[in-house]
Amino acid sequence: MASLNSTIVPITGANQGLGFAVAKKLATDHPGYHVLMGYRDATKGEEAIAKLKSRGLTRAAEQASAQFGRLDVLINNAGVISEGRSPEGTSLCQTWQTGFDINTMAHVITTEAFVPLLEKAALPLVVFVSSALGSCTGRLDPNDQFAAFRFPAYRSTKVALNMVACHYANL
């Protein structure tokens, strides 16, 4: 149970990769942090979005409110490269939609669900985990270290996520 002085930090996509590493680091090195790990099955992107839009996310916000009364830091980390991972017969439009649903809209939906709790924190912080692949400048530079990585849908979702971060930075 977190104390009133704990820093409450939910992290999306925390079951593996970067999200897991961040959760582990915060939980291990910061005893004053209470880490809430969010996770999903990345291969079921559309189901994950449906869950985010459903009562599940609302219930998570209600539980966090009842248990902690606030959130100090929200780490939006969930993401997927949808290109090349969709079932056979998936259209290009469906592939792009899945990418935007998970990599961009899920972060907006999650953040909006937790804004009321973040507003109760002394110094609220929202982190959006993007990617160097979300750089328009890098994509146009043939000498960029990631120039060979195509993934246009993934890159586009991360560019959009960068604008989402700019939006929330100005609130």
* CATH code, 58: 3.40.50.720
Residue 129 resides in a domain: yes
Residue 149 resides in a domain: yes
Mean pLDDT by 10 residues, the chain (171 residues): 75 79 82 77 45 63 92 92 81 90 94 95 95 85 85 93 94 71
Residue 2 resides in a domain: no
pLDDT given at position 47 = 47
Which structural domain, as residue segments, surrounds residue 152? 7-168
pLDDT given at position 150 = 83
pLDDT given at position 139 = 79
Residue 158 resides in a domain: yes
Structurally, the chain folds into a number of domains equal to: 1
Residue 1 resides in a domain: no
Kindly list the distances between the CA atom of residue 119 and the CA atoms of 33, 91, 109, 116, 169, in Å, as whole numbers in the listed order: 18, 41, 16, 5, 13
Contact 22, 14 (CB under 8 A): yes
Statement: the pTM of the whole predicted model exceeds 0.75 = no
What are the tokens at 104?
């961009």
Residue 22 resides in a domain: yes
Residue 125 resides in a domain: yes
pLDDT given at position 105 = 94
> Which of these, 88, 109, 104, 16, lies nearest to 96 by C-alpha position?
104
